[in-house]
């Protein structure tokens, strides 16, 4: 675990601004969330959590307990879904940043209606999830860099920027995306990129060094998964041994 913290501290020097966890697609466990929230506090990094849906009250309450910096509502595809997210989060004492995921063809078609709704004023920004977006168009996630998807992503980010929102892009982020990321940044459309767990703030000091930085981000993510696997495998082995001892008595 110490090397994981050390590597994350080094990534902070390269522009990493936060860690992302998810109740939705990742199914993060509370124990892991508490652990990573402590690491973020110790390193002065932001913690962003994707909740399970636009009305996931229990998830929002967990985020409040952890004092997370950002809450992301997934699969916002309409003005009404955004309204439900707003109603849910505003009835609770949460004062951090609020984001929505734009990650489907339906959200793309309804983008202007979503962004122009009065409720959108409460948002800090949007996150474009390219993997689901690509699949919703009927393609595989390996097609995230197709011309069509790049045009769609560019449009979403550009329209969001017109309203002064912070813009994030995730989904199959790797070295093949670097040229596109640089193009979006240079046009002023993109503020941050994110792998499943690591958020990088883009600036002039790191935009031309993305190959190395993204590799380090993915390395950290792999180590974090290995750490969790080792931790829970230890308990699994112990439980299986105990179960065998009990069965031997039967």
Residue 248, pLDDT > 90, answer no
d(CA 148, CA 128): 15
Q: Are 49 and 21 in contact (CB under 8 A)?
A: yes
Kindly list the domain boundaries of the chain, sorted by start residue. Answer: 2-249
pLDDT for residue 249 is more than 80 = no
Question: Which pLDDT score is estimated for 218?
Answer: 96
Residue 231 predicted with pLDDT over 90: no
* pTM exceeding 0.85: yes
pLDDT of the residue at 233:
86
Q: Is the pLDDT of residue 35 over 90?
A: yes
The answer for residues whose C-beta is within 8 angstroms of residue 145's C-beta and 6 or more apart is 176, 177, 180
The mean pLDDT value of the chain amounts to 95
Q: What pLDDT, in 10s, does the model give residues 70-129?
A: 999 999 999 999 999 999 999 999 999 999 999 999 999 999 999 999 999 999 999 999
Sequence-ordered alpha helix ranges (H) in 116-209: 130-136, 147-162, 178-186
246 three-class SS = helix
What pLDDT digit, counting tens, does each position of 178-221 carry? Answer: 999 999 999 999 999 999 999 999 999 999 999 999 999 999 99
pLDDT at 243: 76
pLDDT above 80: residue 245: no
| Rounded Cα–Cα distance for residues 13 and 58 (Å) | 34
Given a cut of 90, is residue 159 above it in pLDDT?
A: yes
* pLDDT above 90: residue 1: no
Phi, psi of 235 (to 5 degrees): -70, -40
Nearest to 25 by CA among 58, 62, 56, 50: 50
CA distances, 246 to each of 234, 237, 239, 241, 242 (Å): 19, 14, 11, 9, 6
2-249 CATH: 3.20.20.60
The two structure tokens encoding residue 207: 């935009």
Percent of the chain with pLDDT over 70: 99
CA distances for 153 relative to 28, 89, 127, 134, angstroms? 27, 27, 10, 10
Average pLDDT over residues 17-26: 96
Provide the 8-state DSSP code for 206: T
Contact between 52 and 67 (Cβ < 8 Å): no
Question: Strand 46-50 and strand 192-194: pairing?
Answer: unpaired
């Amino acid at each position: 675990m110490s090397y994981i913290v050390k590597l994350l501290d080094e990534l902070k020097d390269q522009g990493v601004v936060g860690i992302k966890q998810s109740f939705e697609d990742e199914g993060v466990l509370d124990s892991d969330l508490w652990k990573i929230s402590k690491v973020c506090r110790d390193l002065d990094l932001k913690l962003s959590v994707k909740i399970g849906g636009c009305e996931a009250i229990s998830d929002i309450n967990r985020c409040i307990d952890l004092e997370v910096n950002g809450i992301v509502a997934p699969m916002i595809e309409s003005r009404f879904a955004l309204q439900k997210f707003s109603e849910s989060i505003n009835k609770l004492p949460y004062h951090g940043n609020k984001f929505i995921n734009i990650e489907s063809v339906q959200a793309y078609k309804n983008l202007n209606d979503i962004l122009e709704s009065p409720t959108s004023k409460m948002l800090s920004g949007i996150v474009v999830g390219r993997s689901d977006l690509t699949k919703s168009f009927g393609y595989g996630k390996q097609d995230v860099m197709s011309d069509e998807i790049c045009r769609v992503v560019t449009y979403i980010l550009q329209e969001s920027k017109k309203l002064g929102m912070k813009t994030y892009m995730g989904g199959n982020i790797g070295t093949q995306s670097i040229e596109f990321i640089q193009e979006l940044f240079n046009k002023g459309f993109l503020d941050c990129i994110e792998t499943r767990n690591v958020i990088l703030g883009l600036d002039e000091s790191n935009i031309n060094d993305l190959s190395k930085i993204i590799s380090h981000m993915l390395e950290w993510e792999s180590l974090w998964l290995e750490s969790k696997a080792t931790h829970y495998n230890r308990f699994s082995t112990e439980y299986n041994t105990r179960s065998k001892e009990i069965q031997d008595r039967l």
